Amino acid sequence: MRRIVAQRDGPASVVPEERPPKEWPAGSATVAERLDPVQVVAAASRVDEAVDSVASTVSVIERQDVFRDVAGSLRDLLRYEPGVSIENGATRFGLGNLNIRGLDGNRVQMTVDGIRLPESYRVGSFSNASRNALGLGLLKQVEIVRGPASAIHGSDALAGVVAFTTLDPAAFLQGGKSRGR
């Protein structure tokens, strides 16, 4: 809360009002429950770190964000990320190169669970697809590192890194259910 203090000889100024800090109600929560969860990323430095302590510009898209934004393709998933876009392409799925801050193609490294994706691959005898053809339903999170990361990730990470992490197999299994025959 702010209050305005007016002086007769000068302009009005805004001064923060002094209030005593709020007390936590007794027995309301433990210390661990009061703290915000820490988001951990590995793509920025190849070591698990809190996203706030990484020196690079990093965005993390969680699984619930995919469903909240009703993302049907990688273009839909990245549409709200500043400095990141996908060009239109003549590939099978209509998605072109991933562009980070004006650089695209082999200057953006893309990985799935730490494995580099090839630039393109053949789908059939007369068709090929780019590395942007991913099933979003299997994603746990997407880490986007903007800016040069070639010292850590190699020469194809000049513009940045897009690291996809898929769900663990245990996420698909439920206790008490049988699978197969």
Cα separations in angstroms, 60 against 63, 128, 174, 176 = 10, 29, 27, 34
- Domains of the chain with bracketed CATH: 54-170 (2.170.130.10)
Query: For the chain, what percent of residues have pLDDT higher than 70?
Result: 56
**Count of helices and strands (H, E) across the chain:** 4, 13
How do the residues of the chain divide into helix, strand and coil, expressed in percent and rounded to 5? Answer: 20, 30, 50
Cα gap 62→139, rounded to integer Å = 8
Asked if pLDDT for residue 21 goes beyond 60, the answer is no
Nearest to 47 by CA among 147, 114, 124: 114
Give residue 130's pLDDT band: very low, low, confident or very high (50, 70, 90). low
Mean pLDDT of all residues belonging to the chain: 73
Asked if pLDDT for residue 148 goes beyond 50, the answer is yes
Nearest to 89 by CA among 107, 70, 72, 74: 74
User: Residue 143 — φ and ψ, nearest 5°?
Assistant: -110, 130
- Which residue in the block uniquely carries the two structure tokens 């789908």? 123
